[in-house]
């Protein structure tokens, strides 16, 4: 088809390679996306070199790409770059390989299996709480990362990390800090092996991750026991039992399983610290339901406001802040005709803060996720776990884990942002807090009295 036969949306006249460096910090894609929407509307076209990019902020068109025309799209270049770390895991694989991997893992995320994980989630959360002291100041970002690492290791892989949790978190943090290099530099797959400045930390950090994952796999094989966890399921499935495929699957699910929930919790504690009324309502629900006992799986359906708090936190600060697809063939999108190879981008961070869908969108208002509130906004205006065939396989587990961790901590502790601590979202693989989250711990008076009685 001739280029004149295509119809592109409005957008930048200049190539983004020049325009972005002139107008934006390259490491701030969210600011770029917001500018594009403000300047050109809900469907925006631009180019990076010869490549066509279309940014969407229209829920109906986001659905069109993720659901209706899903078969015409693969993961885009940024995700493919993460194969340097993840290999051919469930996030990066395509077609029949992805379907086989997902089928092998699916039983581990069945509703009944997820309920079985609840005790472990609560045990690990209370273990974290027992290490805290009244009046202590700490980085809650680091605490939530370590907590969710231990949870995913025990629930999905029946592995106790012990002291390795800090080594693992440090290795992951080193890789995360290299994210912008990994996705932007040409020929980065070659450069990382040459130990060029700025990339030298990638290889040793990846080797640390690989070594921990290899130990987990080897220990499972040697034990000869079937514990019914995800790793056992993959060891038994022909499609995922080879060393290479196992490594890729385990590291993908391991990283995805802890990173997203940790960041959702970090932003939730920040928002509760800054919004006393929702925090009071959260505390009232938890204390009224639990009293002095620990939460259980049976409590999750009753923690309605707790879930609303978690949902609203992920609206304002979605851990998966953007997603992309690349077209296999020419396609129509609304009134536009676009060529094969076009990259489609959408941003949960942008769409979920749109005032047309959410009244007073920058306000932290958990009540908007009550049944009546959810009926007021389009389905694809809120998609923190993606949508369509490749919707996050661990979504139900994340909702359960988030509610139980919030309940287990908030029944005993208040977390207060340290005055003057800078809070800035950082769009890496997930939406992290650039400077961590320094908070002061306050033990609730009822708990202090119980300890002294």
Strand partners, 47: 52
Angstrom CA distances, 236 to 43, 285, 342, stand at 46, 43, 39
pLDDT score at 187: 56
3-state SS class at 74: strand
pLDDT score at 449: 41
pLDDT, tens digit, for every residue of 60-111? 999 999 999 999 998 877 777 677 777 777 777 778 777 877 887 777 787 7
Element holding 332 (H helix, E strand)? strand 331-333
Q: Which single residue is written with the structure tokens 């869908």? A: 357
**Which long-range contacts link 128-135 to residues 24+ away (Cβ below 8 Å)?**
128/409, 129/408, 129/409, 129/412, 129/413, 132/413, 132/441, 133/441, 134/441, 134/442, 134/443, 134/448, 135/440, 135/441, 135/442
**Would you say 387 and 415 are in contact if contact means Cβ atoms under 8 Å apart?**
no
pTM of the model: 0.91
Q: CA nearest 356: which of 9, 40, 68, 42?
A: 42
Q: How far apart are CA 383 and CA 370, in angstroms?
A: 16
pLDDT score at 25: 54
pLDDT score at 83: 72
Tokens of 117: 């994980």
Give the β-pairing of 51-56 and 343-346. parallel
pLDDT score at 2: 64
pLDDT score at 452: 39
**Would you say 118 and 410 are in contact if contact means Cβ atoms under 8 Å apart?**
no
**Would you say 77 and 326 are in contact if contact means Cβ atoms under 8 Å apart?**
yes
CA angle 306, 253, 121 (to 5 degrees): 35
Q: CA nearest 248: which of 430, 93, 394?
A: 93
pLDDT score at 450: 46
Other CB atoms within 10 Å distance of the CB of residue 118 = 20
Q: How far apart are CA 210 and CA 221, in angstroms?
A: 16
pLDDT score at 251: 82
**Which long-range contacts link 236-242 to residues 24+ away (Cβ below 8 Å)?**
237/100, 237/103, 237/104, 239/100, 239/101, 239/103, 239/104, 240/100, 240/101, 240/104, 240/105
Which stretches of the chain drop beneath a pLDDT of 70? 1-3, 17-27, 81, 179-198, 239-241, 446-453
CA angle 21, 22, 28 (to 5 degrees): 50
pLDDT score at 202: 79
């Amino acid at each position: 088809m001739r280029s004149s036969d295509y119809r592109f949306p409005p957008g930048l006249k200049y190539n983004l390679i020049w325009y972005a460096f002139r107008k934006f910090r390259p490491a701030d894609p969210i600011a770029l996306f917001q500018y594009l929407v403000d300047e050109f509307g809900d469907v925006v076209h631009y180019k990076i070199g010869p490549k066509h990019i279309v940014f969407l902020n229209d829920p109906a068109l986001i659905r069109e790409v993720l659901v209706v025309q899903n078969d015409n799209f693969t993961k885009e270049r940024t995700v493919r770059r993460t194969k340097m770390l993840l290999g051919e895991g469930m996030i990066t694989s395509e077609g029949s390989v992805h379907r086989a991997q997902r089928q092998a893992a699916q039983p581990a995320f069945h509703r009944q299996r997820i309920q079985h994980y609840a005790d472990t989630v609560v045990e690990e959360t209370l273990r974290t709480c027992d290490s805290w002291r009244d009046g202590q100041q700490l980085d809650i970002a680091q605490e939530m990362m370590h907590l969710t690492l231990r949870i995913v290791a025990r629930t999905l892989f029946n592995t106790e990390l012990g002291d390795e949790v800090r080594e693992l978190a440090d290795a992951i943090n080193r890789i995360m800090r290299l994210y912008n290099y990994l996705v932007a530099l040409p020929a980065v797959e070659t450069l990382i092996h040459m130990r060029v400045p700025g990339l030298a930390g990638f290889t040793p950090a990846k080797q640390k991750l690989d070594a921990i994952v290899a130990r987990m796999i080897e220990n499972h094989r040697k034990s000869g026991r079937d514990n019914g966890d995800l790793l056992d399921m993959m060891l038994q499935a022909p499609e995922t039992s080879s060393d290479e495929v196992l490594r890729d699957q385990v590291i993908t699910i391991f990283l995805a399983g802890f990173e997203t929930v940790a960041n959702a919790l970090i932003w939730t504690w920040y928002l509760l610290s800054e919004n006393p009324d929702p925090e009071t309502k959260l505390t009232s629900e938890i204390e009224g339901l639990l009293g002095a006992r620990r939460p259980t799986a049976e409590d999750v359906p009753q923690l309605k406001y707790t879930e609303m708090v978690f949902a609203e936190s992920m609206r304002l600060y979605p851990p998966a802040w953007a997603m992309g697809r690349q077209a296999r063939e020419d396609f129509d999108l609304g009134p536009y005709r676009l060529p094969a190879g076009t990259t489609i981008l959408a941003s949960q961070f942008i769409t979920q803060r749109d005032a047309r869908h959410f009244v007073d969108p920058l306000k932290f208002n958990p009540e908007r996720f009550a049944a009546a509130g959810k009926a007021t906004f389009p389905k694809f205006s809120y998609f923190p776990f993606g949508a369509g065939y490749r919707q996050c396989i661990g979504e139900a587990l994340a909702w359960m884990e988030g509610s139980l961790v919030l309940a287990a901590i908030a029944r005993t502790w208040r977390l207060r942002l340290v005055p003057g601590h800078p809070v800035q979202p950082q769009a890496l693989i997930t939406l992290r807090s650039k400077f961590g989250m320094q908070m002061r711990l306050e033990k609730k008076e009822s708990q202090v009295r119980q300890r002294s009685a």
